[in-house]
Amino acid sequence: MERIVRENVDAIRGIVKRAFNGEYMGYTNDAIPFIRIRVKGGIIEVPITNTVFKPILEKAYKTLDDYERRRLLAYEVGGAFKVHPFYIQLLILDAIQLSQLLNIRTADALVRALLEHPLSQERAGMIGRQGVEWLVRAMIEVGLLAMPSS
């Protein structure tokens, strides 16, 4: 992920200026980078998974390996639904396993399976049906699942 931030510094600067009316100050080198921004004399840190950085994320998903994609998506979904990314990572692995084990070929069938199967039911319940639908669509979009989105 650090490489993605370094390669997109100019784009990040533009996003920070437009979205936050602030100045890009750097980033943290955490599992998921936080962008440091100076706004009105104060420094804030915004995760790279924030929706304003969507263009950077879309580019990142195309270049990351599967492990990094799963991790980034887990942070993105976890942040959106206020669930620890660890549980989302497990749910992503559940989705991959269930789709293979049960030979699931449609997104709708996978959503149902995740919500009903004992393997994933508790984790899927943390983000609800809407969250699971969003997660499955996102997994298809970033290349973690190969199936039609509906």
In Å, what is the CA distance from 118 to each residue of 4, 60, 121, 138?
37, 33, 5, 23
Give the C-alpha separation, 77 to 88, whole Å: 7
Q: What is the pLDDT of residues 75-107, one digit of tens each?
A: 999 988 999 999 999 999 999 999 999 999 999
Q: Tell me the two tokens of residue 25.
A: 């100050």
Q: Which two tokens stand for residue 135?
A: 């997660």
CA distance 103 to 59: 30
Q: pTM for the whole thing? A: 0.82
* Chain segment 16-73, per-residue pLDDT in tens: 999 999 999 999 887 788 999 999 889 999 998 888 998 998 888 888 899 999 999 9
- Is the confidence at residue 150, as pLDDT, over 80? no
Question: What residue ranges do the domains of the chain occupy?
Answer: 2-48, 64-141
Task: Report whether pLDDT(149) > 70.
Answer: no
| Coil/strand/helix, residue 136 | helix
